[in-house]
């Protein structure tokens, strides 16, 4: 073995390749494309190493053996470079074990051909040892399999070169640098090999290819660590940008549009050809409403509203300056993020928040109203268990909210109402109705109080009862007043009853002595107790008149008392009209007689045989009217006339020839204790003022009517009209 | 003040506890040509009606022991007394009204002397 300069150079190359492989493996063992790069470097190492050995030995068979081993590396380098390029440009379809095997078919055949060359000479047709200076190289003539290998390797390298060239031409600065490094790495062995194969080698007999491959490995390794060769995959990145939903617009340092991704094109509504090369501000003023020029845009998210589209859309715009190592701005990236959905959600959220706030305000209002209500408010669940009481509840009952909530309103039960009341209450409210009533309840301190209660069911939107609401007012004071009133009323009724009773007794007790006075006076006048002088007779007549007046007054007082106490029960029936005059004439007769007045009775035949009414009270009416007539008549006649004004009524008319009643007084004559004012009237009459009032009240009770026709000094005519048959009011 | 009944004049029985009033009634009835007998007690009146058959009874309603109403009903229930005329004399108008049908005449107290006399004449047999 001779260590010549060729062998030495080869060995150095092997060391560099091997070292690079180890270095890559240690620094970048799991990174992208590390496998192919390490494999590539190992293949170059193998090649260089055995080439060094081939050059070092002098024995031709040994040289051939080493050359054969070399081919394991030689045939691997080009496919490995191919895989690396694919990794770089991210050609997915060239990844995976099957592709890898496919790539290895030709290298395998070539290796077999190399190893078996002694038998067929199809790889090396002829091998001639050639002495160069102090060492021997093999000069060979190539067979078809050699060309197969070379062609295959060239094909792969050519393809890689072309791909890298495309990337270098198309992509940005970084990518261009990366692609350049890779291109250089891949072109070098090609050059070396070309020189060797085609005999243009400046070092005769020395194959430069393994050296070139070592340089390739170095270039790749440098690119890997300096230029992040495999970290940013341009196609992936480009795919991301192409497919991302956000619009991306790239500007150069002069704010000219360099690139637009599809999302941005869609947002602006333009084709990239329309705007690439144009000034960004011109483009935006046409297609998208940026608030300020691109340079003035802050480097933060800016919200922009665009109404250029059918419906208003919202965008978050971010302008990011791109800077080089020297902090100079070399361009800008504008991203347009369509935030419409988010914005709309935000608007909806704000609207619903506003609505919530309004509702809250309403709720607060209701809540305060309930809290501060002057009525007690209780809310229970469906079982009547208290869920809420307002402060008034505590104020009235003495039960704190925590003492009431969880219990039923039965804590207030006074025991003064029977179970039927509560059953009825439940029946009503559980049926969806409103129950109202007055309850006597018991406070915490045992005191009883009255409440006016309204309980209503609270229904949900579906009409299902969810709660019951009770609104209650303390009516204890009112109840006490009512009870006082009721008591007062009872007392008044009792007093009235006693008054009536007293009057009845007085009446009875006065009538008997009055009877005696009247009877004895009459007998005296009659001369039963001896002859009377004219003067004595006259005096006795005055006694009788006074007695009659007293009696009349007594009757009216009693009648009035009976009317007032509602004691009068009309006993209406059919009776002969003549009965009206029974016992009437006698009382008024004496008075009339004394005044020389004539009382006449007339009955229309068509009122016979019967008229209708309570004869007792009708006589009372007629008696009062005749007394009234006699009282105000000094001379002439009093006519009582019974007739039928129509088929369903009968009437009694009492007509006098007296002083009459002034028109202005006519409406008052039926009022109690009222008398026509004036000296003459006073002197001439001494009525109680009850007579006509009683007449009016009795006639009204009988569903009749009374009318008065009179003129001063031309007499008065009272007409009473009564129904001939019972009407509804009376049959009751 | 009782007078023995005489057959030639019709008998009027005066049932009245007020002596003065009874006296006035008596005077009026006598002037109407009746024999008169005064009874001042309700029970006494019932008793005497067992034995005599007066032509006319002037009956006060307000009497000791037995009320005038009972006496009236007793008279109307007794066939022997069917021909007896009854004149009610009362100070209670409503009570009088309720008994109007059972009686021949109702007179409200105070009763005029003349009135009683005239009515009695009409009721003579």
Phi, psi angles (nearest 5°) of residue A252: -90, -175
- Position A684 scores a pLDDT of 41
- C-alpha A460/C-alpha B89 separation (Å) is 79
- C-alpha A719/C-alpha A703 separation (Å) is 14
- Position B59 scores a pLDDT of 93
Q: A48: which 2 tokens?
A: 């260089």
- Provide the terminal-to-terminal Cα distance of chain B, rounded to the nearest Å: 24
Which helix (H) or strand (E) segment is A639 a member of?
A: strand A637-646
Task: Using alpha carbons, select from A530, A618, A631 the residue that is nearest to residue A572.
Answer: A618
Q: Which residues contact A592 (CB under 8 A, 6 or more apart)?
A: A598, A599, A626, A630, A638
- C-alpha A536/C-alpha A645 separation (Å) is 48
- Position A91 scores a pLDDT of 56
Average pLDDT, chain A: 81
- Position A730 scores a pLDDT of 40
Cα A531 to chain centroid distance, Å, stands at: 112
Instruction: Identify which of B31, B108, B114 has the shortest CB distance to residue A583.
Output: B108
Q: How far is CA A707 from CA A306, A570, A639, in A?
A: 94, 22, 16
B residues 31-70 lying closer than 8 A (beta carbon) to A? 31, 62
Q: Do A517 and B110 touch (CB under 8 A)?
A: yes
Low-confidence ranges of chain A (pLDDT < 50): 232, 678-686, 728-732
Put residue A199 in one of left, alpha, beta given phi > 0 → left and psi -120 to 50 → alpha.
left
Q: Do B94 and A616 touch (CB under 8 A)?
A: yes
Q: Do B113 and A512 touch (CB under 8 A)?
A: no
Average pLDDT, chain B: 86
Question: Does the CB of A515 have a partner CB in chain B at under 8 Å?
Answer: yes
Within 8 A of A517 by CB-CB distance, chain B residues are 110
Within 8 A of B97 by CB-CB distance, chain A residues are 571, 616
Q: Do A590 and B20 touch (CB under 8 A)?
A: no
- Position A732 scores a pLDDT of 34
- C-alpha A166/C-alpha A163 separation (Å) is 5
> Across A433-538, where does the E strand assignment appear?
435-442, 448-459, 465-474
Give yes or no for a contact between A538 and A669, defined as CB atoms under 8 angstroms apart: no
**Overall residue count recorded for chain B in this entry:** 125
Q: Do A519 and B112 touch (CB under 8 A)?
A: yes
Residue A352's Cβ-side half-sphere holds a number of Cα atoms within 13 Å equal to: 5
Q: Do A523 and B107 touch (CB under 8 A)?
A: no
Long-range CB pairs of A8-11, under 8 A, 24+ apart, other chains included = A8/A52, A9/A206, A9/A211, A10/A48, A10/A49, A10/A51, A10/A52, A10/A55, A10/A210, A10/A211, A11/A48, A11/A49, A11/A52
Task: Transcribe B33-91 into DSSP letters.
Answer: T-EEEEE--HHHHHHHHHH---SEEEEESS-SSS-HHHHHHHHHH-GGGTT-EEEEEES
- C-alpha A186/C-alpha B47 separation (Å) is 168
Put residue A160 in one of left, alpha, beta given phi > 0 → left and psi -120 to 50 → alpha.
alpha
- C-alpha B62/C-alpha B89 separation (Å) is 9
- Position A83 scores a pLDDT of 82
Task: Transcribe A237-294 into DSSP letters.
Answer: HHHHHHH-SSEEEEEETT-BEEEE-HHHHHHHT--HHHHTTSBHHHHHHHHS--SS-G
User: Tell me: the pLDDT tens digits for B68-104?
Assistant: 999 999 999 999 999 899 999 887 777 777 788 888 8
- C-alpha A647/C-alpha A650 separation (Å) is 8
Closest residue, chain B, to A568 (C-alpha): B94
């Amino acid at each position: 073995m001779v260590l010549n300069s060729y062998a030495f150079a080869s060995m150095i190359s092997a060391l560099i390749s091997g070292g690079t492989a180890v270095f890559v493996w240690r620094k970048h063992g799991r990174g992208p494309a590390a496998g192919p790069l390490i494999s590539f470097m190992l293949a170059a190492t193998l090649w260089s190493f055995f080439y060094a050995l081939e050059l070092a030995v002098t024995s031709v068979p040994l040289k051939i053996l080493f050359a054969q081993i070399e081919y394991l590396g030689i045939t691997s380098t080009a496919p490995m470079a191919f895989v690396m390029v694919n990794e770089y440009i991210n050609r997915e379809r060239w990844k995976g074990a099957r592709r890898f095997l496919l790539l290895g078919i030709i290298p395998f055949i070539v290796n077999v051909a190399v190893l078996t060359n002694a038998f067929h000479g199809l790889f090396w047709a002829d091998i001639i040892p050639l002495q160069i200076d102090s060492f021997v190289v093999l000069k060979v003539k190539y067979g078809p399999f050699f060309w197969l290998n070379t062609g295959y390797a060239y094909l792969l390298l050519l393809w890689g070169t072309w791909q890298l060239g495309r990337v270098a031409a198309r992509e940005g600065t970084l990518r261009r640098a990366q692609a350049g490094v890779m291109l250089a790495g891949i072109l070098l062995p090609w050059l070396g090999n070309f020189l060797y194969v085609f005999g243009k080698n400046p070092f005769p007999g020395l194959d430069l290819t393994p050296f070139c491959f070592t340089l390739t490995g170095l270039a790749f390794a440098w690119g890997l660590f300096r230029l992040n060769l495999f970290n940013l995959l341009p196609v992936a990145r480009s795919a991301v940008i192409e497919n991302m939903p956000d619009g991306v617009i790239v500007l150069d340092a002069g704010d000219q549009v360099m690139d637009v991704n599809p999302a941005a094109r869609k947002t602006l509504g333009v084709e990239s050809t329309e705007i690439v090369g144009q000034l960004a501000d011109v483009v935006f003023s046409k297609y998208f409403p940026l608030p300020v020029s691109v340079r003035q845009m802050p480097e933060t998210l800016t919200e922009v509203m665009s109404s250029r589209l059918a419906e208003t859309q919202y965008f978050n715009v971010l302008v990011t300056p791109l800077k080089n190592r020297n902090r100079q701005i070399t361009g800008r990236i504008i991203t347009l993020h369509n935030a419409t959905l988010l914005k709309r959600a935000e608007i909806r959220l704000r609207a619903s928040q506003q609505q919530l706030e309004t509702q809250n305000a309403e709720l607060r209002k209701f809540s305060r109203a309930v809290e501060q209500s002057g009525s007690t408010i209780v809310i229970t669940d469906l079982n009547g268990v208290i869920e809420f009481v307002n402060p008034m509840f505590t104020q009235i009952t003495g039960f704190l909210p925590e003492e009431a909530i969880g219990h039923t309103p039965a804590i207030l039960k006074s025991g003064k109402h029977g179970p039927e009341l509560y059953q009825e209450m439940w029946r009503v409210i559980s049926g969806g109705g409103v129950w109202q009533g007055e309850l006597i309840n018991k406070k915490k301190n045992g005191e009883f109080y009255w409440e006016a209660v309204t309980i209503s069911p609270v229904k949900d939107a579906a009409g299902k009862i969810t709660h019951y609401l009770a609104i209650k007012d303390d009516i204890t004071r009112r109840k006490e007043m009512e009870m006082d009133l009721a008591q007062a009323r009872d007392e008044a009724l009792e007093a009235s009853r006693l008054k009536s009773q007293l009057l009845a007794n007085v009446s009875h007790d006065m009538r008997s002595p009055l009877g005696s006075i009247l009877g004895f006076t009459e007998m005296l006048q009659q001369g039963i107790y001896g002859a009377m002088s004219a003067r004595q007779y006259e005096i006795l007549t005055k006694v009788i008149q006074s007695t009659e007046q007293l009696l009349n007054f007594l009757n009216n007082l009693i009648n009035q008392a009976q009317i007032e106490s509602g004691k009068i029960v009309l006993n209406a029936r059919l009776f002969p009209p003549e009965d009206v005059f029974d016992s009437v004439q006698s009382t008024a007769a004496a008075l009339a007689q004394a005044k020389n007045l004539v009382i006449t009775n007339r009955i229309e035949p068509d009122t016979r045989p019967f008229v209708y009414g309570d004869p007792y009270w009708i006589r009372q009416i007629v008696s009062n009217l005749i007394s009234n007539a006699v009282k105000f008549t000094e001379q002439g006649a009093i006519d009582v006339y019974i007739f039928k004004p129509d088929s369903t009524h009968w009437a009694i008319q009492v007509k006098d020839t007296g002083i009459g009643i002034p028109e202005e007084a006519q409406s008052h004559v039926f009022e109690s204790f009222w008398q026509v004012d004036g000296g003459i009237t006073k002197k001439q009459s001494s009525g109680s003022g009850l007579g006509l009032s009683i007449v009016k009240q009795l006639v009204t009770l009988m569903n009749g009517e009374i009318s008065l026709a009179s003129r001063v000094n031309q007499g008065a005519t009272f007409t009473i009209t009564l129904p001939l048959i019972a009407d509804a009011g009376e049959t009751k | 003040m009782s007078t023995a009944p005489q057959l030639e004049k019709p008998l009027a029985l005066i049932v009245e506890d007020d002596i003065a009033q009874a006296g006035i009634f008596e005077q009026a009835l006598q002037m109407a040509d009746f024999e008169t007998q005064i009874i001042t007690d309700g029970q006494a009146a019932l008793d005497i009606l067992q034995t005599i058959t007066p032509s006319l009874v002037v009956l006060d309603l307000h009497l000791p022991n037995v009320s005038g109403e009972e006496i009236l009903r007793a008279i109307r229930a007794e066939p022997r007394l069917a021909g007896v005329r009854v004149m009610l004399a009362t100070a209670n108008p409503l009570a009088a009204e309720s008994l109007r049908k059972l009686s021949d005449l109702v007179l409200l107290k105070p009763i005029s002397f003349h009135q009683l006399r005239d009515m009695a004449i009409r009721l003579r047999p």
